[in-house]
Amino acid sequence: MNEGEVSMSKVLTMLHTTPVVIKLLGDVAQELVPADVIIRTVVDDSLLNDVRKAGHLTKEVTRRIVGYAQHAENYGSDCLLLTCSSVGPAADVARQVVNIPVLKIDEPMAERAVSIGCRISVLATLGTTLLPTRDLIQQAAQRARKQVDIGTVLLSDAFEALSRGDVTSHNRLLKESIIREAETSDVVVLAQASMTNILPDLPRSLDDKVLTSPRLGFSRVRELLSSL
């Protein structure tokens, strides 16, 4: 470093739509993101609540997410990471508005799924995540010029169980569905970052066949920040 220069740390802003993933993603970020990166965490659960009420990503929620992206840029962030699959398409709009990278945590997962095989199963416990995740995988397949067959499974009973605080039933339903889908698919994609918690309960034979977004997403963040 030349005389007079000041070393500046990179700044990553994470936008969460639920407090449930804060610790999970914070732990992965601590492991994979360089220690000198400043991490800012923003949580707005009204975004996901409004998406769930409408049944899809609305223009109003998209505008608010773009506003968060502008705020992140104005306050010195080098990158914004959206951690919610249900609002992922809003990143495409934000990318047209701000000058900093806007990443979707599940985009690297979609690309990895396409690289593994053609028969892809997408599992979610929240209905609003299925279509965005399926579309993300389809877009990755188009970029790779690959034909894929994408099936979707909605485990609403598992979500209801978790909402009641019945983690045991949630995990049982999720595990059963993953094992069942793995029998006929090349890869099983878990659409929500919060579903990562099921991994220790799965047979080790499925380690390379079941994908979640956190580690793949933060590996992409690390690569991006290193290149800036």
Interatomic CA distance for residues 132 and 90, integer angstroms: 10
Q: Dump pLDDT digits (tens) for 92-151.
A: 999 999 999 999 999 999 999 999 999 999 999 999 999 999 999 999 999 999 999 999
Q: Model's pTM, two decimal places? A: 0.92
- CATH 3.40.50.1860 given to domain 11-105+215-227: yes
Show me where the domains of the chain are located.
11-105+215-227, 107-212
Kindly state the DSSP code that residue 114 receives in the 8-state scheme: H
> Length of the chain, please?
228
User: pLDDT of 57-69, one tens digit each?
Assistant: 999 999 999 999 9
* 107-212: CATH topology: Rossmann fold (3.40.50)
Q: Examine domains 11-105+215-227 and 107-212 and report if their fold is the same.
A: yes
Residue 218, Cα to own-chain centre: how many angstroms?
10
- Residue whose entry in the numeric block shows the structure tokens 């998209």: 62
163 band by pLDDT with thresholds 50, 70 and 90: confident
